[in-house]
Structure 1
Amino acid sequence: MKPDTSTVSPLKPVASASDVVAGRGALPGAPGIGDADFPTDGNGGYDVGHYGLTLSYDPPSKHLSGVTRIEARATQDLSRFNLDLSGFTVSRITVDGKPAKFDRAGTELSVTPASAIPNAAAFNVEVAYAGEPKPVRGSSNLGTYGFIPTRDGAFVTCQPNGAKTWFPGNDHPSDKASYDFDVTVPAGLTALANGELVGTPKTAGGKTTFRWRESHPMASYLATMTLGKFEMLQGTTPGGLKNIAAVDPRFRSSLRKLYDVSGRVTDYWSTIFGPYPFSSTGGVVDDFPAGYALENQTKPMYGGFAPGDDIIAHELAHQWFGDSLSITRWKDLWLNEGFATYAEWLWSEHEGQATAEQLFRRQYAAAADDPIWSYAPGRARPDDLFNNSVYTRGGMALHALRQRIGDPAFFRLLKEWNSTHRYGNVTTPEFVAMAEKISGKKLGPLFDAWLFTPKKPTTW
């Protein structure tokens, strides 16, 4: 994400006597995945491998109907399990084709299959639901996110936990899956989702269905079904990667730049961070005044503004840092935002503008009592998740590391970090360990000073 210009214990499953009897020792999955800062996000007891989303949206009535098909595998003997879903009326749930019982409590949809699911067993869930999606209106630096109705469609950006505003699932970045999207909209509108189009959109009865597929693992908050009136450019980057750019007609003058810069940036990052992890690149500018951009996988979204080169560089760097390499817990958000911020500085340097060293020095000139120094970015706070320190001081930490270990080791580290954890989940201790291994240096004091100490670092 890029703006324009705890101690809570994880939830535990609660088993009743009937759970144990019916499942012969099977237990319900936890109603949270174990992220102490967001205790009800995600769910325990299973891992999702694939989502198949069949969705129909009518902008005038703001009515969405959907069927979500989930392919999952149990990670315990499972008597029941939860899905995250906000709003909607659920009409039917089946597990492996058999009707399942279900109930609702807030955003928790609890599903009890006809029989217990053994540990390590694959199972399929199908949920039919309908209603008017409601976005999340977060704190000042979160803004509005999730499924956001617009004048002619919807703007869908879900960080950190807004996927549940339009489909049921395991809504936490530590459970990644592949996706198929079948999205039906009134004829004349375009539906955009992650990945690439499958076949040609088909129109019948005044409606058009678009089929998109993202075959690479993806965190739920990166999924989108943004739709409306769009003008598009499709082709390839200079390096030969599929490139898809789309803009609301209000921003048609920015379409060529979005397409060209996205292509050049993606190709350049492939030389710095390692091979591009997905099958297409590009970006989307919609007319909803979100005031931020989000790194939706393969299609960064720019909400209500034509992005500059720096923001495009930031969001496309996220395709490596945040999308391919996803954080295990939200407290490590600097691994996304600090890296993408430093990528902006690397792009500036590449383009012959200010160097990373100059940009670092400008930020370091902030007075010792500047708020950026009192927020230690290595531990992002759930009530202030997107604080400037997570971005800027996180990026400064990487430059301090570059100075300490030298360019050969630093840029080798960026590539090995990506290749080792491609499509997986990462933590800060893993990054520190790899940095020490590659450089041969003890780097604990450096990372402590830049990431975990609430004051201005004086040495590095």
Structure 2
Amino acid sequence: MHRRILAPGALAAASVLLAIPASAASHSPGAPGIGDAYYPAYGNGGYDVSHYDLRLKYQPATDELEGTATLLARTTQDLSRFNLDFLLEVSEVRVNGVKASFEASGEHELEITPKTPLAKGSAVTVVVRYRGVPSSKEAYGFTSWHRTPDGGVGANEPEAAWWWFPGNDHPLDKATFDVSVLVPDGSQAISNGTLQSTSSRAGWTRYNWRSNKPQATYLATLAVGRFDVTTGTTESGIPVVNAYSKDLGDNYGAARASIERTGEIADWLSGYFGPYPFNALGGYVPNTTTGYALETQTRPFYSPRQFAGGTNTSLVVHELAHQWYGDLVSVAEWKDIWINEGFARYAQWLWSEHEGEGTAQEIADYVYASHPADDAFWTVKPGDPGPENQFHLAVYDRGALTLQALRNEIGDDAFFAILKGWPRKYAHGNATVADFRTYAEQVSGKPLAALFDTWLFQPVKPAGPAALDASAARRAGAPERPESWRKIAATNTVHEHGHGHGHGLEGADTH
């Protein structure tokens, strides 16, 4: 309640001020956004979450979800109120055990006013009780919850959390997760990390998953359905859990033949990027109508149609490369998306080399020659593509060309030292494109501002090939199409999230 006091004279005004406790006077609302230029309303200010405990019950037949989310956080300012990003119906909120008032605002904001203001630097426990039908909810005209014939899936970028749990939805605020899901017997619940336990009672089974390393909210996933689950261990000792919807039809074999190589591919990638950073691995393929994949931490999401043309290990390489580039080291802002996508694409080029289907240089020559100077491809700036082009093909392919140009400029020793050292330097944190340039200069001992500006920020086709020396293929004419190109290009088709607030229509299917 706001009360306006009309009091003449400075003395009266001073007496009103004195009536307000000094402690409360300095408290102010946390910002409704974390400060991202592309998505001003995403995330929230005033606090940092360290852990999410999500206790959920899901009914696949009706898509009804009910849950209790417990957030452990610490305030970063004196808070009178704060926001969470969330869409479902909330019945109760408690802050430090005491009931708090709350209301929905904006497209996806839950405004919470604790009974007593919170002092900066204090530990806070927030409990939110909620329920709803995720597939019935939209924000900005789209949904990131995928209804399937046997259940539902939360997986999307840059946002999916709002449809199934309340949180601080921006990569800057990573946290550990416990996800406990009760589903009818015969259904399974798949999430990130390791399966701690399962228990059954009265026709329902509870699955308890744990992610013990910091994880961005968009990298948290939930899938409920009927799955064939395989388990194993990589050569380096990491447990692998893969899950395949029982109704993938003709795509089942190709999906399984691709994703069952997850452990092998992760071990191979660790030779370039350093030890695998988490304690779990896997992938899952629900029966969705989507067309993209997503690097959900430890357990990437894959769409069935990505295997319509047969196996695609290149796709698995891309999503697993993100475990280092995107998951272990995350963007500081969404404009830094090149740090995720350019590197995951380049990993596909290295895999092509490994498979004897075209070297990274041959692919770079082919990509460079495939886009004439007047192609709109060159007008997208991978270093800051804008929200409408965040997943544009140029972020991937021109992004990878940048890395080949860097490799040619500084030599293999320095280049591969950077690929391995970068994830270690920023492990479990966030970084910017500028941070990468600085790091590359430190490791290589060379000034690289001009190279990065040319390849990442100029809206024109860079002069000269990505190679220092034109390849024999170029001397003979147009470069030959590498054998691996069909599989790489299979991850380049129209980006089909079905919403345009931040996704380019010419983006890539692969995140």
- State whether structure 2 residue 318 is matched by structure 1 residue 314: yes
In 2 relative to 1, CA 367–62 (structure 1 residues): closer, same or farther, beyond 3 Å?
same
Confirm or deny that 1:210 pairs with 2:210: no
Structure exhibiting the larger radius of gyration computed from Cα positions: 2
Equivalent position of 1:152 in the other structure: 150
Q: After superposition, what is the alpha-carbon deviation per residue over 1:141-195, rounded to whole angstroms, capped at 9, x for unaligned?
A: xx97622221101122131022111111101111100000011111100100000
3-state DSSP of counterpart to 1:301 = coil
Partner residue of 2:458?
453
Describe the shift of the 1:151–1:19 C-alpha distance in structure 2 as closer, same or farther (beyond 3 A).
farther
> Which residue, 357, 360, 385 being the options, matches 1:353?
357
Is 2:246 the counterpart of 1:234? no
1:197 counterpart = 2:195: yes
**How many pairs does the alignment contain?**
439
One-letter identity of the residue aligned with 1:228:
G
The alpha-carbon deviation at position 203 of structure 1 amounts to 1.4
The aligned counterpart of 1:188 is 186
TM-score (norm. length: structure 1): 0.92
Task: Report the counterpart of residue 369 of structure 1 in structure 2.
Answer: 374
Instruction: Say yes or no: does 1:401 pair with 2:402.
Output: no
Q: CA deviation at 1:138?
A: 9.2
1:222 lines up with 2:219 in the alignment: yes
Contact 1:50 1:179 (C-alpha < 8 Å) held by counterparts:
yes
CA distance in 2, matches of 1:372, 1:335: 19
State the Cα deviation string for residues 282-314 of structure 1 (Å, max 9, x = none).
Answer: 111111021010010011111123361110000
1:297 aligns with 2:302: no
CA positional deviation for 1:403: 0.6
Cα distance between partner residues in 1 of 2:344 and 2:20? 46
Distance 1:70 1:20 in 2: 29
1:340 deviation in Å?
A: 0.3
Which whole-Å CA distance do the structure 2 matches of 1:57 and 1:29 have between them?
Answer: 32
Residue 334 of structure 1 contacts residue 378 of structure 1 at CA under 8 Å; is this kept in 2?
yes
After superposition, the Cα gap between the structure-2 partners of 1:343 and 1:19, relative to the gap in structure 1 and judged at 3 Å, is: farther
Match of 1:280 in 2: 280
CA contact (8 A) 2:259 2:313 kept: no
Partners of 1:227 and 1:348 lie apart in 2 by: 34
Distance 2:334 2:457 in 1: 15
Q: Which amino acid aligns with 1:273?
A: F
What corresponds to 1:332 in structure 2?
336
Distance apart, 1:434 and its partner CA: 0.6
Query: C-alpha distance in 2, partners of 1:213/1:146?
Result: 22
Which piece of structure 1 moves more, 257-266 or 357-366? Answer: 257-266
3-state SS of the aligned residue for 2:400?
Answer: helix
Change (3 A) 1:162 1:298: same
**Partner residue in 1 for 2:57:** 56
Correspondence for 1:12: none
Q: Is residue 29 of structure 1 aligned with residue 27 of structure 2? A: no
Quote how far apart the aligned CAs of 1:211 are: 0.3
Gaps of 5+ in 1: 1-16
Relative to structure 1, the CA distance from residue 135 to residue 354 in structure 2 (aligned partners, 3 Å threshold; closer, same or farther) is farther
2:412 equivalent to 1:411: no
| Separation in structure 2 between the aligned mates of residue 259 and residue 387 of structure 1, nearest angstrom | 25
* TM-score, length basis structure 2: 0.83
Q: Is the 8 A contact 2:227 2:243 kept in 1?
A: yes
Distance 1:350 1:77, change over 3 A: same
CA contact (8 A) 1:22 1:115 kept: no
SS at match of 1:160: coil
Give distance in 2, aligned partners of 1:136 and 1:127: 18
In the alignment, the residues of structure 2 paired with residue 136 and residue 195 of structure 1 have an alpha-carbon distance, to the nearest angstrom, of 27
Residue pair 1:238, 1:267 contacting (<8 A) in 2 also? yes
Aligned-residue CA RMSD in angstroms? 1.9
- The more displaced of 129-138 and 106-115 is 129-138
Give SS of 1:37's match: coil
> How far does residue 264 in structure 1 lie from its aligned partner after superposition?
1.0
